[in-house]
Structure 1
Amino acid sequence: MRPAIRAAVTDDLPALVALDSLSFGSQAWSTVAWTDEFDRLAEDRVILVADEGSVVGYVVLLVPSVALDVVEVLRIAVTPAERGTGIGGQLMTAALARCAGRTVLLEVAASNESAVGLYRGFGFEQISRRRGYYGGGEDAVIMRWREEQ
């Protein structure tokens, strides 16, 4: 069964904080940071969750005003038990559907081969690299997606 992809609600906050911590460790967002993301939903944030009776994944987008044509994927994560099952792809499909006519940017750790592969499969291309951007000197790969015309 495929999870439902839906807009996040404030009741999802504890699950999002827990999944973020599990996925990003010391670079996870705090509860305060997640609360700030929810506070910005009406302004410029979109948070989608994959729901199988509980939150098994999420994606957070920065969607500036219509005057700007660039969207940024701020975060995407799937529970360890569900990784490799297509949920990340479902979330990315839903996210990109909201980005019609816009360019989408994201950054990913260079060593995260599964994520880089996922993004390439959606047509993202590497446009830059930030040397030593992450703790421990790991590079960040900057990727861009443009909807095919």
Structure 2
Amino acid sequence: MRPRIRAARTDDLAELVALDAACFGSAAWSEVAWADEFDRLSEDRVVLVADEGAIAGYVVLLVPPVVLDVVEVLRIAVAPAERRTGVGGQLLTVALDRCTGRTVLLEVAAGNEAAIGLYQGFGFVEISRRSGYYAGGEDAVIMRWREES
């Protein structure tokens, strides 16, 4: 069964905090940081979840006013048990559909080959690196997507 992609609701908060911790460990966002994301939903944040009864994944977008041409993927994660099932692709498809005519940027750990492969499959290209950005000295790869005209 394919999960339903929907906008996050405030009652998803605890589940998102737990999923984030399972995916990012010590680099996970705190409950306060997640609550801040929900407080800003009406301003410039979009949080989408893949819902299969339990949240299988999520994506957080920073979507400034249309005058600014760039959208940022702030966070994307898929529950460990749901990886390689298409959930990440579904989330990216819906997220990119919201970004028509805009450039989308994201950063990913250089060693996260699965994520980099997913992003490249959607047309993201590496545009820069931040040397030693992550804990342990791992580089961050900055990637860009621009819808084909």
TM-score normalised by L of structure 1: 0.99
Where does structure 2 lack aligned partners over 5 or more consecutive residues?
none
How many Å apart are 1:39 and its aligned residue? 0.4
How many Å apart are 1:100 and its aligned residue? 0.3
- Is 2:121 the counterpart of 1:89? no
State the partner residue of 2:20.
20
Q: Percent identity?
A: 78
State the partner residue of 1:45.
45
RMSD: 0.4
Where does structure 1 lack aligned partners over 5 or more consecutive residues?
none
Segments of 4+ moved more than 6 angstroms? none
State the partner residue of 2:69.
69
- Is 2:6 the counterpart of 1:6? yes
Could you tell me how far apart the structure 2 residues matched to 1:31 and 1:146 are?
Answer: 32
- Is 2:135 the counterpart of 1:135? yes
Could you tell me how far apart the structure 1 residues matched to 2:83 and 2:54 are?
Answer: 15
Query: 1 or 2, which has the higher strand percentage?
Result: 1
State the partner residue of 1:36.
36
Could you tell me how far apart the structure 2 residues matched to 1:94 and 1:73 are?
Answer: 12
How many Å apart are 1:111 and its aligned residue? 0.1
Could you tell me how far apart the structure 2 residues matched to 1:6 and 1:101 are?
Answer: 22
TM-score normalised by L of structure 2: 0.99
1:3-30 residue CA offsets vs partner (Å, 9 max, x unmatched):
0000000010011000000111111000
